[in-house]
Structure 1
C-alpha cells in the first residue's frame, strides 16, 4: 500500500494534511481578495471589501474543512467524480445555509438573486481548488514519486560498504565468528536498501538497522566510537520513512568520529511530544562550526520527508554547543493510511 498520501493519484487530496489545509486557506483568501479588488471602486475601499468578504468566507471555509477532514475516508472510497461532486454539494449547500442564517439574523439583505450569487461563488471557488488538486495529483502521480524515492534511496553513500568489507576481510582469519556476524548485519543493510521505498516502516526496524550499522562501524573504529541511545517512551510501532536514521548515523560517524583521531560520542535521542515524533542525532564538531560536505544526505532526507508528509514534517541541523545536531519532527502514525 502506498504511503505518499497528499500526492496520491486520486484527484481528491488528504483533507487532514497540513499542506493541503494551508493551500486551501491561501487559495480561497486569494480568490476573496481578487473579488474585493474587482468590486471596490478604489484601492482604499479594497481592504474594507476584503474584510467584509472574509467575515463571511472564513467561518464557511473552516467548517467545510472540518467536515471534509472527518469525511475524508468516505470520499476516498467514492469514485473520483462522485467524490468531487459531494465536495461541490457541500460547498454550495453550506454557503446557502450560512447566507440564510445571516439573513435571518438581519446581517444580510437580498432575495433569491443574492442567494444564487453566493452559491455560485462558493461553487466556483470549490471548483477551482478541485481542479488545482486534480492537476497536482496528475503531476505527482505515484509512478513519478516512486521513481523519485528510488533515486533518493539509491544515494546512500557507498564508502561504508567498502570499509565494512575490508574490516570483514581482516577478521576472517583472526575472528571468523565476528566476521560472520558482520556479514549478516551487512546483508540486513542491503535488504533495507531493497525495501519498497513507498512503504512506511516501524520505528523499531529503523532503530535495529541503525544499531546494525553502528556495530559494523565499531568493528572498524573500535573504542573511538561511543554510542548513546535515549529512546524515551516512544511507541516502536510508529511508522517512519525507510532509511531515515541510517544516513544520519553515517553522517555522524563520518564527520564526527572518523574525521578525528579522538574518541567521540554519537548520541541518538527519540521522544514523543503529543502527536509528534522527535529525533535528534548529535556528534562532536571537533572545533568546526559544522559538518563538512555538501549535506547530500540531509537534502535527501528533507525531500523524502516532503514526499511522505508534505508540510507536516521538518528537518533542522546546526551546531549545538560543542556538538553538531540534526533534528527531525514528523507526525506519529501507527497504521498505514487508507488509500483512495
Structure 2
C-alpha cells in the first residue's frame, strides 16, 4: 500500500512568520523614502512654527543643521546594524533605534553648541522631542505600508490553493497516478508525496523570504505532477547552473508563474510546448526569467493578471523599489522577467 511521508523538514516545509515589521534598512527604496518623509516633516514643522517665508527658510535651516547629520549618520549606522536589528523583536528594534537617535542628537547638539554657541541652536529638549516625533512617524508610515501590502501574501496562498483544487488539475493528476499504480508503484508514490507536499506548503502561512533552492524544489514537484498528465506535450528546460541556492526570494513567486505557463501557454497547444526557466546572478541582483509558448488566446486571462499583480505587490513588500517584474510577448513566446536584490542568510 502506498503511504505518504510526513516530512516537514524537506525543501517545501512551512516557514515561520516574522516577529517584527521594521523596514529593510539596507534597501535603497526604503532609504529614499526615509529621506523624503523626514525632509517633508521638517518643512512642515518649520512652516507651523513661523509666519513668513523668510522665517520658514531660517527655521528650516536651523532644523536641518541638526536633523540632516543625525539622519545621514543614522542611515549609515542602521545599514551596518541591520543584521542585528532584523532579528530583534519589533518593540526592541524600535527602542534601539530611538536610543541611537537620541544619542546621535545629543552628540551633534553639543558639537553645535561648542562650535556656534548655546544661542545658535534650539534647546536640546525641543530637538529630542522633534527627533522622537519624526522617528515614530517614519516607523509608523512603514508599519502601515507593510500592513496594507501584507494581505497580498495570504491572497497569493489562497489563489495558489484554489488553483491546485481546480478539478482540471486535481482529477487529471489523480487519474494519472491511478494509471501507473500497478505498472510503476514507486513513481505513483512519489507523485502522491508531491501532491501532499504541495498542499502542505500552499496551506501554510509563508511570510518570510526562503532559499531559492526550496522554491525550485517546490516547482519541480509541481511540474512533475503536470508532466504525469501532459506527458510528452510538456517539456521543461532549466537554466540554473550558476545560481546560488541560498539566494532568498519570497515564497510562491515561481510556482504561480509556472502554473500560468502550463495552463495558458502549453496546454492549449495541440503539440504542447517548452517552458524555459532561466536564472542568473548579475552583480548584486538575481535575474529570473520564464518563457513559454504564447497561445492563440493569449495570456490575458483574469487569473494570469491577478497572479502577476499579486507577485508585484509581494516583491514591493519585500524589496520596495529594488525589485521589478516585466512581461512581454516576443516571437510567439511569452516572457516574464523578475529582478530582485541578491539576499542570502
**Residue 114 (structure 1) aligns with:** 122
Please show how residues 328-339 of structure 1 align to structure 2 within 5 Å: 328-335=338-345
Please show how residues 1-340 of structure 1 align to structure 2 within 5 Å: 8-9=19-20, 13-18=23-28, 20-38=30-48, 41-42=51-52, 54=64, 57-72=67-82, 84-102=94-112, 108=116, 110-111=118-119, 114-116=122-124, 117-130=126-139, 150-151=157-158, 153-157=160-164, 158=166, 159-172=168-181, 179-195=188-204, 197-198=206-207, 200-286=209-295, 290-294=299-303, 295-309=305-319, 312-335=322-345
Partner deviation per Cα, 1:223-281 (whole Å, 9 max, x = no partner): 33222211141111333333322221111011111122244221101111233322111
Shift of 1:180: 4.8
Q: TM-score, normalised by structure 1?
A: 0.75
Cα distance change of structure 1 residues 32 and 220 upon mapping to structure 2, 3 Å threshold: same
Shift of 1:91: 2.3
Shift of 1:216: 2.9
State how far apart, in whole Å, the 1-side matches of 2:16 and 2:128 are: 36
State how far apart, in whole Å, the 1-side matches of 2:225 and 2:181 are: 14
Aligned residues of 1:206 and 1:245 also touching (Cα < 8 A):
yes
SS of the counterpart of 1:71? helix
SS of the counterpart of 1:261? coil
Which runs of 5 or more residues in structure 1 are unaligned?
Answer: 336-340
Aligned residues of 1:291 and 1:324 also touching (Cα < 8 A):
no
Cα distance change of structure 1 residues 2 and 307 upon mapping to structure 2, 3 Å threshold: farther
State how far apart, in whole Å, the 1-side matches of 2:140 and 2:251 are: 32
Shift of 1:191: 4.0
SS of the counterpart of 1:156? helix
State how far apart, in whole Å, the 2-side matches of 1:83 and 1:286 are: 50
SS of the counterpart of 1:15? coil
Aligned residues of 2:288 and 2:338 also touching (Cα < 8 A):
yes
State how many pairs are aligned: 328
Q: TM-score, normalised by structure 2?
A: 0.74
SS of the counterpart of 1:326? strand
- Root-mean-square deviation (CA, aligned residues, Å) is 4.0
SS of the counterpart of 2:163? coil
State how far apart, in whole Å, the 1-side matches of 2:91 and 2:176 are: 59
Cα distance change of structure 1 residues 60 and 9 upon mapping to structure 2, 3 Å threshold: closer
Shift of 1:44: 8.2
Partner deviation per Cα, 1:260-319 (whole Å, 9 max, x = no partner): 224422110111123332211111214666443342332343344445445554333232
Aligned residues of 2:238 and 2:278 also touching (Cα < 8 A):
yes
Cα distance change of structure 1 residues 175 and 84 upon mapping to structure 2, 3 Å threshold: closer
State how far apart, in whole Å, the 1-side matches of 2:226 and 2:90 are: 50
